[in-house]
Amino acid sequence: MAGHSKFKNIMHRKGAQDKKRSSLFAKLSKEVMVAAKMGGPDPSANPRLRAAIATARSNSMPKDNIERAIQKGAGGGDDTDFEEIRYEGYGPGGIAVIVDVLTDNRNRSASDVRSIFSKSGGNLGESGSVSFMFDQVGEIQYPADAADADTMFEAALEAGADDVASSDDGHEILCAADGLHAVAGALEAQFSEASSVKLVWKPQNLVPVDIDKAESVLKLMDTLDDNDDVQNVFANFDIPDDVMERLADG
């Protein structure tokens, strides 16, 4: 299990989301609302909104919820101002962690994130303290049945992608951050809408985590993800399969 690997920023994160779907929908709604507020309600003219809608749909968010979030963001009576903040810090075993927050209360979010790091045995750092160990890239995901591996590979490279990884779980396309929406648009024209289009922080190297630290690392990830203001968490840890099996066995 790696902090960043195929199809998941943090692989266990989807399981946590599935158990807390209402919380997930709230976070997705917030992103849709902010995207509509910043760039307008027309997805065809607003790449961020288009990406937010694709992610919401891929997580089975009801159409009515998506449309309601767009209306709120575009001036439908919600005057809440959200601020995007990025926190960086170190977790158990010296792993590096990047936390993206979307909040209407900067002080609350800072206090919450700092407390979560502290209780895990880690510490919150200054801006830039760990991001130099990551590369920000564009990530596009398609389900496995969107195309065979060769077809997706050729189409992605033709569209300007840098790398493609395909497996039974799906296709993950990586590209330069500033080319994300151009690549996604080219692929959408050929394969229809992607299941996810977003910017991610990809670690340059992974830090092995042993059995003594693995449980603490997973708890930190889950606790961060449980926070209502936290939108995304990226980390550079690698928990070997045998360690994950021992944790699962109790």
Taking only the tens place, the pLDDT of each residue in 149-192 is: 999 999 999 999 999 999 998 999 999 999 998 999 999 999 98
| Any domain includes 8 | no
pLDDT at res. 41: 92
| Any domain includes 4 | no
My answer on whether 62 and 182 are in the same domain is no
My answer on whether 210 and 199 are in the same domain is no
Domain boundary among 53, 73, 93: 73
My answer on whether 158 and 44 are in the same domain is no
Domain around 240: 83-132+205-248
My answer on whether 145 and 23 are in the same domain is no
| Any domain includes 105 | yes
Q: What is the pLDDT of residues 39-59, one digit of tens each?
A: 999 998 998 999 899 889 888
My answer on whether 57 and 168 are in the same domain is no
pLDDT at res. 20: 67
| Any domain includes 44 | yes
My answer on whether 49 and 159 are in the same domain is no
My answer on whether 104 and 91 are in the same domain is yes
| Any domain includes 3 | no
| Any domain includes 1 | no
pLDDT at res. 5: 40
Domain containing residue 216: CATH number:
3.30.70.980
My answer on whether 102 and 215 are in the same domain is yes
Find all residues with CB under 8 Å of 248, minimum gap 6, and list them.
none
Per DSSP, 209 falls in state -
| Any domain includes 237 | yes
Buried b (16+ CB within 10 A) or exposed e, 110-137: bebbeebbeebebebbeeebbbeebeeb
Q: Cα–Cα–Cα angle for 115, 121, 123, nearest 5°?
A: 60
Total number of domains constituting the chain: 3
Domain containing residue 68: CATH number:
1.10.10.200
Given a cut of 70, the residues of the chain with pLDDT beneath it are: 1-21, 76-79, 250
Taking a C-beta distance cutoff of 8 angstroms, is the pair 70, 141 a contact?
no
Enclosing H/E stretch for 128: none
pLDDT at res. 10: 43
- Pairing mode of beta strands 134-142, 170-176: antiparallel
Domain boundary among 73, 99, 120: 73
For the entire predicted model, the pTM comes to 0.86
My answer on whether 46 and 152 are in the same domain is no
My answer on whether 26 and 126 are in the same domain is no
My answer on whether 138 and 198 are in the same domain is yes
My answer on whether 141 and 179 are in the same domain is yes
Taking a C-beta distance cutoff of 8 angstroms, is the pair 69, 33 a contact?
yes
| Any domain includes 6 | no
